[in-house]
Chain A
Amino acid sequence: MTIKRRDDETWYKLDLSATVYPTLQSRRYSAIYRIRARLTKPVDPKLMQQALDLALPRFPTFKTAMRKGLFWRYLEPNDRPGPFIQEDIRNSCLPLPFHACNRYLVRLYYYDRSVSLEMHHSLADGTGGMCLMQTMLAQYLKLQGVDVPPEGFVFDIDAPADSAEIEDAYRRYATARVKPPRKSDPTYLMHGTAEDFYTLNTIIGVAPVSEVIATAKRYGGTVTEYLCAALLQALLQVQREEHRRKELPVRLAMPVNLRRFFPSVTVRNFISMVYPCIDPRLGEYTFAEIVDETRGYLRYYVNSHFLRGDITKNSSTERNPASRITPLFIKDLAISTAYRFVQNRNSSAGITNMGNLAVPDAMRPYIEQFDICMGQPYSRRTNCSIISYNDRLTMNFSSTIIEADVERYFFRQLVRDGIHVLIESNKEYPEDTGI
């Protein structure tokens, strides 16, 4: 929602999801995600900088700085120079202090043929970030003489930003007459060995989309259901190997793009979480049964009715008069504590699937691969981000722990099912290990 104070001064309220992420901000953690595109030719950083300078003003809520009010944070237009493209780094998704980078909440990196966009989650969800990424890539190609018409994620940079693009869509759809209670069941939590500060281990698996679709169909599910099931099974195996006295249910935190169910063109956050779960206390599950269970859960909960209830519940907390007049520092304390002890303990791992990415045909010959990274997990666990493009399905696991047991069991299941997986990783081995 945009609020005009004077003709020349505009500021933006944070949307419902965006109010949570800044409260978790610390020296060690920022809610950052990364979208990386691998082009067919090496990146020209000067041209890419020009492309960013052309594309960013088209998204007024991204060219902003985070500010604190007495009761809420807000976004203020940022006219400082930047953000500037910089050489990429191995330990991606570094925490982003709000006062660093000329107060921008966007970072751009290049390395060889890759260009990576890192954004703070309080600006936008993956869809919003992808809009900026593709609009910027379209400008980059235009500067090289390739004409890319605005369509899909590519915006027309000459057209002014529509107010619908920067709306807080949660408010429009928080209309359910009942607020379903939040469930908080005991959940298995991983306890990996922490890496040195700051190391983000990334393992990317690349598989042909056609093979994954065919395999998922064989189990009677979709790609998301199949991959969720593979991750749930991997977590079950990790838990079993810990020989716990009391096994707990394993649960995934999965964001759902609400634009699929509620028409909106917003480039800001518009997601809700669902939690597919397998309870090993009910007995042994075969992999086919896990796929069935996941499929049943997602079919039951991922629809406009249940999601509207979730939005209404979350929105009501924000709209509550008592919470609105509570000073920001008390809200920060309450939200971060609730996140740490309730929300964070409600899932064993995170998974997100952006699906098959729509890219204008004119751009396709110049882009080889897309991958997304959910960034540093809040606790010692692993997050999996999936995206498909050009018959390449990339599964990006990011974690701050040394062990890669979950990733190993996940990819071994795919290989067992006959899927060809290519692995890339930024893991480093000390010289004395002999590797």
Chain B
Amino acid sequence: MAYCVNCGVELDKSLRACPLCNTPVVNPADLAAPKSAVDPFPAKRAVIERAKRSDVAILVSVILLATMAASGLLNLLLYRTGAWSLAIIGGCVVGWVICVPVLIYTRLPIYVSILLDGLSVALYLYLISITAAQGVDWLLKLGFPILTLAVVLAEVMTLLIRHVNHSFLGVSTYVITSIALMCGGIEGVIDLYFHGHASLGWSAVVITVCAVIDAALITILSRRRLRGEVRRRLHF
């Protein structure tokens, strides 16, 4: 019979410590020959079965492959007007590549998975360009540059979030800056494609607004007291 020295409760013989205060049971009378007692609770623990990731990955892969095969066959045999099935096949490839880091190879570095996502979208754009009447010219001068800019911005933002500042205010600054750069880049690339020279138009408005917001955010971030005040009043 052992009592907890802190709580005053009697402890079951199977207990090695008081479950209320975690004080170990040391009973001098039992030190020489500890009594064996039947634990009132079984030792076996159960786990909840759930669908394995690999099973889900196989299911997703089969569904996407079946969709690709079915649309390809329909395009080849039944509805032969244009290579429309390439758009569906490309969409399925993009979907599968996006699933890779979640379901198949979870230890894939995030930078590599973003790069693979970009490559799969590039492949999708290429498949669309095969079917489109304009050829691959727009792809090289419009599609790829915008995609490259988006991938680079996503990589840089991920790097900043992981290694510099991942607070809500910090992430907001990166997102706002990325929006400004993306808009500027899109307008520049479009201008180059259609007019042969780049100039700032509508994106200047976006960049100005983003710059003002960024300036406010950076001020808040750099002042500790201001930062604390904003967090206190705007937490959610």
> Which residue numbers of A lie inside 8 Å of B, CB to CB?
27, 38, 87-91, 94-95, 111-112, 114, 198, 201-205, 404, 407-408, 411-412, 415-416, 420-427, 429, 434-435
Contact = CB atoms under 8 A, between A and B. Distances in A.
A427 B24 CA distance: 13
Contacts of B43: 90
A198 B8 CA distance: 30
Given A425-B15, A435-B22, A202 B44 contact: no
B44 A88 contact: yes
Interface in B7-40: 7-12, 14-22, 24, 38, 40
B8 A404 contact: no
Contacts of B44: 87-90
Interface stretch (B45-53, B144-152, B165-173, B210-218): B45-53
Contacts of B9: 205, 411, 415, 421-423
A199 B76 CA distance: 56
A435 B17 contact: yes
A198 B47 CA distance: 7
Contacts of B38: 112
B12 A424 contact: yes
A122 B17 CA distance: 37
B109 interface: no
B42 interface: yes
B23 to A, nearest CB: 9
Contacts of B14: 424
Contacts of A202: 41
5 contacts: A88-B41, A423-B9, A423-B15, A424-B40, A429-B17
Contact of A411 (B7, B15, B50): B7
A435 B24 contact: yes
A114 B20 contact: no
A415 B8 contact: yes
A203 B19 contact: yes
Given A421-B9, A422-B10, A203 B40 contact: no
Contact of A95 (B4, B7, B41, B48): B48
A370 to B, nearest CB: 13
A282 to B, nearest CB: 28
A413 to B, nearest CB: 11
A263 to B, nearest CB: 38
B12 to A, nearest CB: 4
A25 B137 CA distance: 55
Given A27-B50, A420-B10, A424-B12, A411 B20 contact: yes
A408 B10 contact: no
Contacts of A434: 24
A343 B23 CA distance: 36
B233 to A, nearest CB: 16
A417 to B, nearest CB: 11
A162 B206 CA distance: 74
Contacts of A420: 10
Contacts of A423: 4, 9-12, 15, 18-20
B216 to A, nearest CB: 29
Contacts of B19: 201, 203, 404, 407, 423, 425, 427
B21 A422 contact: no
Contacts of B7: 408, 411-412, 415
B214 to A, nearest CB: 34
Contacts of A412: 7-8, 20
Nearest to B25: A435
